[in-house]
Amino acid sequence: MSTKSKVTKKTEKKLQRITGIPLTLGNFLWSISKCDEMTQAEFAEKQGISKQYLCDLERGRRLVSPKMAAGYAKLLGYSYEQFVRLSLQDMVDRDGINFIIEVTPRKGDMQPFCA
C-alpha cells in the first residue's frame, strides 16, 4: 500500500494542527495539490472539474457527494474511506449536527463503485 493511499487519523490530526482548522474535503484537496506542487488549474484539470468549482470546494462553498468523493480518491490514488468520510463529515457539519463520522467498507467490498 502506498503512503498516499492511506491517510491515517494521526496524519489528519497533524494537518489540523498545522492549519488550525478541522480537516474538510476541500482543504484536504488543497493540501494534496500543494504537496504535488500543482497549480489550481492543473489540479482541477486532473480531476476533470473547472478551476472555479475546485476553488469553491477548497473554500467550503460547495460540498461533494460521497460518490464523487470516492471518484476523486480513485483519480488521485488516495483512500476511498478518507474521502467519503470527509464528504459526509462536511455535510453533517454544514447542517449543524454534532456528530463525528466514521466509515468502514463492508466486508468484501473494498472498491466502491465510482462513476
Chain centroid to CA 109: 20
Domain-located, residue 38: yes
Tens digit of pLDDT at every position of the chain (115 positions): 444 545 667 777 777 787 777 899 999 999 999 999 999 999 999 999 999 999 999 999 999 999 999 999 999 999 899 999 999 999 999 999 999 999 998 887 656 555 5
Residue type, 72: Y
The pLDDT of residue 20: 77
The pLDDT of residue 21: 79
The pLDDT of residue 2: 47
- Domain containing 43 — which CATH number? 1.10.260.40
The pLDDT of residue 1: 43
Residue type, 25: L
The pLDDT of residue 67: 97
**Number of independent structural domains in the chain:** 1
| Opening angle at CA 79, ends 78 and 80, nearest 5 | 115
The pLDDT of residue 55: 97
What range does the domain containing 78 cover?
3-94
Domain-located, residue 16: yes
CA distance 68 to 85: 12
Domain-located, residue 102: no
Domain-located, residue 18: yes
